[in-house]
Amino acid sequence: MTKPAATVRDATSPAGYGRDFRLYVAGRVVSIVGDRIAKIALVFLVIRLAHGFGPAVSLYYIAQLAPSVVGGFLAGVVADQVDRRRLMVACDVVRALLVAIVPAVTAFGVWTIFPVVVVLYAVTELFSNAATAAIPDVVPDEHLTGANAILNGISAAADFAYAVGGALIFVFGYELPFYFDAATFGFSALMIFGMRIPRQPIAPPLDVAGVLRRMAEGAAYLLRQPFLKWSTFALGVGALAGGITYVVTPLYASEALAKSPWLIGPLRGGPFRFSVLEVALGLGYLLASAVVTRLSRRWRRGHLFGAGLVGYGVSYALLAPCGNLFIAIFLLAFGGFCNGLFIITGLTLIQRLTPTEVRGRVFGANSTVINTSLVVGSAIGGGLLLVLPFASLWLLLGAVIVLSSLFVWLRPDVRSEA
């Protein structure tokens, strides 16, 4: 679909990418800050109510990721089938209502949290798929890497809000972050309502057979294109380790880093130590967002994608002997930088290599593979914590992520993708 050139100017900030992109960025900035604050509260609410039981933390992440596994393909069909702007607004409104009821639900115990989490992240999957598919229709191809860098930079910068969330819990308890997050979803809905997103070609209403056929079309397109196929496999293997890190990191921050020197004030609490590690990841990611556009002019995006995977794995392997919070901060900042390299370049290539009419389904297929691996990793993580020390787990995770890069380096048609 042709994009209106009049709405886009050359620039290196959101202001130069047109009115619609600016509106989306404004909503995204606010809502993602709320997400970060609420996420810290939700994770440590589960840890507190479950008395630090590792499998319960695994179950939380499984509940978070399961909608992407079960409904990732379907979300892609919906994003290609209905007006994406209206879908995104509806998702934000529903998410605002869901996070607002979390404090009331937790009064009944830890197990009542998980159904809310499942529904919340099912709606988030719909929103993310529609948003990712819509961005190339409001930003021209030559600015697409820059737009993705801006959005991922916002996501990384918002990781500072993890520290805010940790501090809010330390001072006020667990309820306030959820009400704040609900308000930010409302603001995001207003911003997206004001956008003008070109409507993709809409097919007639589908029956079950039609939905299955369109899902298969998205998967078939992904498997036909070398970079889409092999990068999805690489991310799937890497995500297996990533799912384990979801479970390991908050408990590592609470337990293994509890004896780190120079723990003062809020740093004495596990939630704040975890939030600081998340901020470190975000800082590294933010740096990658700032430089990836320039790097992609000098090196092929396929090379940056593979190098980012390798560096990300190495950063986790180096955590194995680390019991010092401040060294862990440095290592995770490096890991965040590498993570930003492969996420931003991979996302840009998937968007560029996929036409708008099938883009939602391709992202649905891609996210289904990745999130299935994350769910499996999260399920494994709780069990591994019962039998392996943190050092052994970090070495294992780093090795798996580095090995996943072989899907890139062993395929010339993938690593040479520009």
What are 282-293's pLDDT values in tens digits? Answer: 889 888 888 888
% residues pLDDT > 70 (the chain): 91
What is the pLDDT at residue 10? 39
- CATH of region 16-201+208-415: 1.20.1250.20
For the chain, the maximum distance between any two Cα atoms, rounded to a whole number of angstroms, is 63
241/296 Cα distance (integer angstroms): 27
Helices (H), 173-269: 176-193, 208-224, 226-251
For residue 384, the model assigns a pLDDT of: 85
Average pLDDT, stretch 381-401? 88
Per-residue pLDDT tens for 138-185? 887 777 778 888 887 787 677 677 777 777 777 777 778 888 889 999
What is the distance between the alpha carbons of residues 278 and 41, in angstroms, rounded to a whole number? Answer: 13
Residues 111-119 have a mean pLDDT of 87
Is residue 377 predicted with pLDDT exceeding 70?
Answer: yes
Averaged pLDDT score across all residues of the chain:
82
pLDDT of res. 5: 37
Q: Per the structure block, which two tokens stand in for 96?
A: 């605002």
So what's the pLDDT on residue 4? 39
| Separation CA 342–CA 350 (nearest Å) | 12
Q: Is 264 helix (H, G, I), strand (E, B) or coil?
A: coil
The predicted pLDDT at position 72 comes to 66
pLDDT at 96: 93
CA–CA distances in Å: residue 299 to residues 151, 287, 306: 21, 17, 12
- Rounded Cα–Cα distance for residues 115 and 340 (Å): 31
From 165, 394, 417, select the one nearest 301 (Cα to Cα). 417
Give the lowest-confidence range in 54-63, 65-74, 229-238, 381-390.
Answer: 65-74
pLDDT in tens, 53-111: 667 777 887 888 778 776 666 777 777 778 888 899 999 999 999 999 988 887 777 78
pTM (2 d.p.): 0.67
On whether the CB atoms of residues 32 and 178 are closer than 8 A, the answer is no
Give the range with max mean pLDDT: 65-69, 263-267, 322-326.
322-326
The pLDDT of residue 9: 38
Mean pLDDT calculated for residue range 374-396: 85
Query: Which of 13-17, 271-275, 300-304, 355-359 is the least confident region?
Result: 13-17
Domain ranges of the chain: 16-201+208-415
Q: Residue 16 has what pLDDT?
A: 64
